[in-house]
Amino acid sequence: MKKSIPLTFFLVAALLLLGTHLAFCASATEVGKEAAGAAAGQAATININAADVTQLESLPGIGPATAQAIVDYREANGPFKSIDAVKAVQGIGDAKFDAIKDLISTE
């Protein structure tokens, strides 16, 4: 007489295998996110002395009006000597500067 393995055994085994696969996929996704974050941290900064309005708008919190204000200020006053000098532009306060300071440069 043959002994049969209950169907529940196969279902449990399938779920365990699937769970292992899902856990591996989740781990791989997290590794990918970390790598992308590291790459973003090494990305080139935007030179506020050379950037046009479109480039400046790519910065967080910088819309068309503020981007144009940066360009206008630069044209009226010459190049920014440091990234902190961008705070002299109307519309850029401490909070907005904190959001962009790691993304901008003067060279």
**Per-residue pLDDT tens for 13-61?**
666 666 655 455 555 555 555 555 545 555 689 999 999 999 999 999 9
Examine the domain organization and report whether 51 and 34 are in the same domain.
no
Examine the domain organization and report whether 77 and 100 are in the same domain.
yes
Examine the domain organization and report whether 2 and 30 are in the same domain.
yes
Examine the domain organization and report whether 50 and 18 are in the same domain.
no
pLDDT tier, 80 (very low <50, low <70, confident <90, very high otherwise):
very high
Q: Are 60 and 34 in contact (CB under 8 A)?
A: no
Q: Which range of residues forms the domain containing residue 11?
A: 1-43
- What is the pLDDT at residue 92? 97
Strand partners, 18: none
Handedness of CA 47, 51, 56, 57 (dihedral sign): negative
Handedness of CA 46, 48, 51, 52 (dihedral sign): positive
Mean pLDDT of 73-95: 97
- What is the pLDDT at residue 21? 54
Examine the domain organization and report whether 37 and 53 are in the same domain.
no
- What is the pLDDT at residue 73? 98
- What is the pLDDT at residue 44? 86
- Structural domain count of the chain: 2
Examine the domain organization and report whether 66 and 34 are in the same domain.
no
Q: How far is CA 21 from CA 13, 18, 48, 62, 70, in A?
A: 12, 5, 47, 42, 50
Q: Give the CATH number for residue 76.
A: 1.10.150.320
